[in-house]
């Protein structure tokens, strides 16, 4: 099998692989900070818990998965100490999903890891080149219809 030259890849695949490599670096950094039990896919759940407290059913709809799938992930993250289900202040029969202190610490650690990665990329490519790259990627995201999902924290895993 002959090796693949990254420069020969189409733009979407190359951007995807850059994203995978960046996410892997963030995951590695999270592991060193005591959050090694988090998976990349947990980020899709966390995005909906920053500043919001959905029910499991609402979370399922936001993620585009069944309530059973969302419930399974919530139970896993609850067992790991990242989230908890608390009674709704207006109706104790309704349980809302909240980040715990550990969950909020994981979010902060991930943000710090991404900031560290961003500084590394700026050193590698230079401020101007990286900004041009970021601008082009944002324009391509818009061209491909992904901007609204990012703005509204509604990014879903690909089907």
- 10 Å CB burial of residue 90 (0-12, 13-18, 19+) is exposed
Percent of the chain scored above 90 by pLDDT?
Answer: 90
Question: How would residue 154 be classed by pLDDT, with cut points 50, 70 and 90?
Answer: confident
Question: How would residue 158 be classed by pLDDT, with cut points 50, 70 and 90?
Answer: confident
94 within 8 A of 55, measured Cβ to Cβ: yes
What is the H or E stretch that residue 41 is in? Answer: none
Which domain range does residue 135 map to? Answer: 10-151
pLDDT tens profile 95-132:
999 999 999 999 999 999 999 999 999 999 999 999 99
Is residue 3 included in any domain, yes or no? no
| Per-residue pLDDT at 135 exceeds 80 | yes
Q: Give me Rg for the CA atoms of the chain.
A: 18
45 within 8 A of 77, measured Cβ to Cβ: yes
Question: Which phi and psi angles does 5 have, rounded to 5°?
Answer: -90, 115
Is residue 138 included in any domain, yes or no? yes
CATH code at position 17? 1.10.10.10
Nearest to 43 by CA among 103, 84, 98: 103
The count of domains in the chain is 1
| Per-residue pLDDT at 136 exceeds 80 | yes
Nearest to 44 by CA among 68, 65, 20: 65
Is residue 90 included in any domain, yes or no? yes
Is residue 4 included in any domain, yes or no? no
Is residue 156 included in any domain, yes or no? no
pLDDT of amino acid 140: 95
Is residue 142 included in any domain, yes or no? yes
Is residue 136 included in any domain, yes or no? yes
Is residue 24 included in any domain, yes or no? yes
Q: State the average pLDDT over residues 48-73.
A: 95
Question: How would residue 45 be classed by pLDDT, with cut points 50, 70 and 90?
Answer: very high
Task: Kindly report the pTM of this predicted structure.
Answer: 0.88
Which is more confident, 113 or 1? 113
């Amino acid at each position: 099998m002959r090796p693949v030259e990254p420069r020969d890849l189409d733009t979407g695949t190359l951007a995807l692989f850059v994203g995978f490599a960046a996410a892997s670096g963030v995951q590695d950094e999270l592991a060193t900070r005591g959050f090694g039990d988090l998976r990349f896919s947990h980020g899709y759940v966390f995005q909906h818990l920053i500043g919001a407290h959905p029910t499991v059913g609402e979370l399922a709809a936001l993620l585009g998965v069944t309530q059973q799938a969302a419930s399974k992930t919530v139970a896993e993250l609850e067992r790991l100490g990242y989230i908890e289900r608390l009674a709704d202040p207006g109706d104790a029969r309704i349980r809302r999903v909240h980040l715990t202190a550990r969950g909020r610490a994981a979010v902060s650690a991930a943000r710090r890891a991404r900031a560290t990665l961003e500084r590394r990329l700026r050193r590698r490519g230079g401020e101007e080149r990286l900004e041009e790259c970021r601008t082009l990627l944002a324009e391509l995201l818009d061209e491909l219809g992904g901007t609204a999902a990012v703005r509204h924290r509604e990014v879903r895993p690909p089907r």
